[in-house]
Each structure stands twice: as structure tokens, then as C-alpha cells.
Amino acid sequence: MYALDESDMQENYPEVPMLLDPKLLRMARRIYRSYCVLHPKTNRRPLGIAIHRDSHRGQLMFNPKPILLPGECFVPMKQLETEIR
């Protein structure tokens, strides 16, 4: 039987939200807020945030095909915006 991984799931079923640890979502929101405060005049909007599951260190991603390191997960901006509302 074929099992879908996270990337296949998002490509084949983009409307299905990916479930992440609430702590990771909070940290990703905090990273994005810091970016907005430090760069208030920028027009660049990241596509999401790559965040490490254990250390909670994150990096804003602007590339449409982000490369994740082992232990990292990708939090798309669409999910962050959904969580903020």
C-alpha cells in the first residue's frame, strides 16, 4: 500500500490543513511578528517558516521550494494566517 508523506499530501490535497504542534505554530508566529517589526517597510512576504521541532529555531522562507534540514518542518503562511484569526 502507498502512504502519502506531508509533501504529497499538500500537493494532492491542498485544502486539507496540516496538523502541527501548537507550540511550533506559536513560535512560527513569533518569528513572523519579529520580522514584521524589524522590517516594517518591506514588500517581501515570506511563503512560510522552516522551524526545527526540538530547538524551535526558525527561518523565513521566500523560495517556493524550500529545502528543509533534518528535524525541520515547514509552516506555510496560509496556516499561520488561519491560526491568527
Please give the pLDDT value at position 7: 53
Look at residue 58 and tell me if it is in a domain. Answer: yes
Look at residue 9 and tell me if it is in a domain. Answer: no
pLDDT tens for the chain, residues 1 to 85: 334 345 544 554 454 456 678 899 999 999 999 999 998 888 888 999 999 999 989 999 998 888 899 999 999 998 887 655 4
For residues 18 and 21, give the distance between their C-alpha atoms in angstroms, rounded to a whole number.
10
Look at residue 11 and tell me if it is in a domain. Answer: no
For residue 69, give its domain range.
Answer: 20-84
Look at residue 39 and tell me if it is in a domain. Answer: yes
Please give the pLDDT value at position 22: 87
What total number of domains does the chain contain? 1
Please give the pLDDT value at position 66: 84
Please give the pLDDT value at position 78: 87
Instruction: Tell me the residue ranges of DSSP E strands in 1-85.
Output: 48-52, 58-61, 72-76
The Cα-based distances of 69 to 12, 27, 35, 50 in angstroms read 23, 18, 21, 9
